[in-house]
Amino acid sequence: MRTLITLYAFCTMLCAQHPTTSFKTAKGDLKLTAIRHASFMLEAGGQVLHCDPWSQGNYTGVPQADLILITDTHGDHLDLKALALVRKASSIIIASPDAAAKIEGARAMKNGESMQVGEWKIEALPMYNMKRGPSEGKFFHEKGRGNAYVITYGGFRFYNAGDTEGIPEMRALTSIDVVLIPMNLPYTMTPEEAADAVKAFKPKVAIPFHYRGADLTVFEKALAGTGVEARILDWYK
């Protein structure tokens, strides 16, 4: 018994090493845990949601998912090995059509569609490049291939912008409480571009993610005095 307790405490300690932050909703607290890069976990009402589990993250002691969201087909978003770590028999998996085709049992969701899963409302939005790509005439992320998601719990609207530039669909959003916003070149945006996009739709809190190598102080300074809180978590611990 003592061995089991010690193992549980060790796993709990490892899980606790991930940066976390919490938000108040009409149905209680919503907790965000930053796993790695674009991988994160949400917990609320005894339910666990994972997004884009990735093998570079440490999943020791991390609870398995009731709901899993996959944004894209790239390896740092669609990782079948990591998916197996957080998936259980009852897990519901939602993915863009291209990603869902690669995951057994996944439910495909197109841009513009929505789905209610228990207390979670999931809306699929576009995420794409407008100017950046690997070569002339090609984009790193084509419109329609991947999904950004607005996740609503207890009236609280949490926006995972995915791998994207500051697209018109993002700028037109309203009533967003928190956004996870990417800022790494050459795939998404600069910190200045990310801040400019955030100022267009004015969420209450903006959290950089998928930011490896970016200067986050530039993002923070650009949002100073706008009424949008820049909340920084270390996604690369």
Q: Is residue 51 part of a domain?
A: yes
User: In terms of residue numbers, what domain contains 73?
Assistant: 2-230
Residue 5 has pLDDT above 60, yes or no: no
* Domain count within the chain: 1
pLDDT band at 174 (very low <50, low <70, confident <90, very high): very high
Residue 187: inside a domain, yes or no? yes
Mean pLDDT (whole number) for 138-166: 96
What is the rounded average pLDDT of the residues 140-152? 95
Confirm whether 237 is domain-assigned.
no
Q: Has residue 95 been placed in a domain?
A: yes
CATH number of 87's domain: 3.60.15.10
Mean pLDDT of 205-213: 95
Asked whether residue 235 is domain-assigned, the answer is no
Res 16 pLDDT > 90: no
Residue 186 is assigned to a structural domain of this protein:
yes
Give per-residue pLDDT as tens, 32-77: 999 999 999 999 999 999 999 999 999 999 999 999 999 999 988 9
SS (H, E, C) the chain: CHHHHHHHHHHHHHHHCCCEEEEEECCEEEEEEEEECCEEEEEECCEEEEECCCCCCCCCCCCCCCEEEECCCCCCCCCHHHHHHHCCCCCEEEECHHHHCCCCCCEECCCCCEEEECCEEEEEECCCCCCCCCCCCCCCCCCCCCCEEEEEECCEEEEECCCCCCCHHHHCCCCCCEEEEECCCCCCCCHHHHHHHHHHHCCCEEEEECCCCCCHHHHHHHHCCCCCEECCCCCCC
Q: What is the pLDDT of residue 161?
A: 98
In the prediction, which pLDDT does 209 show?
97
